[in-house]
Amino acid sequence: KLREVLPKPFRDLVVGKSSMMPLYRGTIHPLIPNMAFVGFVESVSNLHTSELRCRWLSGLLEGRFELPSVKAMMGHVAGEADAMRRTTRFYRRHCISTYSIHDSDGMCADLGSATLRKGNWIAELFAPYNNKDYKEQ
């Protein structure tokens, strides 16, 4: 359905070599300017990831950080796809549940927020993360 919405020059960019849409931080397609995709990435915790991506996108639009180069973003996306291909059967779909903590930490770092979200290192290592760990500070 996205192909029908996009202008012709970008329609063939929707799906990359890995058969996933190459989205940096699950939001920005490095080759499609001025467009973001929030809620496209499949995850067990869609609300949490979509909310954090909205905050990340808002920070980008406010100028709190800049995107890396297109080459760096494509390299990041290719690395994620390769890791998913090696470690999970879901690599043909954009499913980040296995990598959601790493992905969320990257967005927090971009926003200047703490990437260690628990109160102590034992909890950081062993306690599960949830949406309360990502409340705005």
DSSP secondary structure letters along 23-49: -BTTTB-TTSTT-B-SS-SB-TTHHHH
Q: How confident is the model at residue 42 (pLDDT cuts 50, 70, 90)?
A: low
Which CATH class name applies to 1-126? alpha beta
**Tens digit of each residue's pLDDT (9 = 90 or more) over 54-98:** 999 999 999 999 999 999 999 998 888 787 777 766 555 555 455
- What is the SS3 assignment for 95? strand
Q: Is the pLDDT higher at 67 or at 47?
A: 67
**Tens digit of each residue's pLDDT (9 = 90 or more) over 84-136:** 777 766 555 555 455 677 788 899 899 998 888 888 889 888 888 777 777 77
Q: Which residues 6+ apart lie within 8 Å of 17 measured at CB?
A: 78, 81
- pLDDT at residue 12 greater than cutoff 90: no
Please give the pLDDT value at position 44.
55
